[in-house]
Structure 1
Amino acid sequence: MPLQMTGALGDPDLIRLPWEVPLEDWPRHHLVDLPRGISRHVVRFARLSGKVYAIKEISERYAKREYQLLWDLARLDAPSVEPVAYVTGRAEGLDAALITRHLQFSLPYRAVMSGTLRPDTLTRLLDALAVLLVRLHLIGFYWGDCSLSNTLFRRDAGAFAAYLVDAETGEMHPMISEGQRLADIEVAHTNIFGEMLDLEAGGLLHPSVDPMETAEDIVNRYHRLWDEITQSEIIEEVDWHRVEQRIRRLNLLGFDVAEMMVRRKVGTGRLIVRPKVVDAGHHQRRLLRLTGLDVEENQARRLLNDLDGFRVAKGLRHEDEAIVAHRWLAEVFQPTVEAIPAGLRGKLDPAQLFHEILDHRWYLSESAGGDVGLATAVKSYVDNILVHKPDERALLPDDPDDHDDPDDLGAHDRLDRLDAPGDLGGAARAGQ
Structure 2
Amino acid sequence: MTRQTPLRAIRGMHDLLPDDSARWQQLEDRARALLERYGYTEMRTPLVEQSELFKRSIGEVTDIVEKEMYSFEDRGGDQLSLRPEGTASCVRAAIEHSLLDQPRRIWYRGPMFRRERPQRGRYRQFHQIGVEVFGLTGPDIDLEVILLTRRLWEALGLTDLRLELNSLGDSAERAAYRQQLVAYLRQHEAQLDDDSRRRLETNPLRVLDSKNPDLAEIIAQAPSLIDALGSDSRAHFEALCAGLERAGLAYEINPRLVRGLDYYNRTVFEWITDALGAQGTVCAGGRYDGLVEQLGGRATPAVGFALGLERLLELSETEPPPSIDAYLIAVGEQANAAAMPIAEQIRDALPELRLLCHCGGGSFKSQFKRADRSGAKVALVLGDDELAQQRIGIKPLRAPASDDPTNTGPAKSEQSKTEQTSVALDALADRLPDFL
Q: TM-score, normalised by structure 1?
A: 0.23
Q: Which has the larger radius of gyration?
A: 2
Relative contact order, higher structure (CA 8 A, sep 6+): 2
Q: TM-score, normalised by structure 2?
A: 0.23
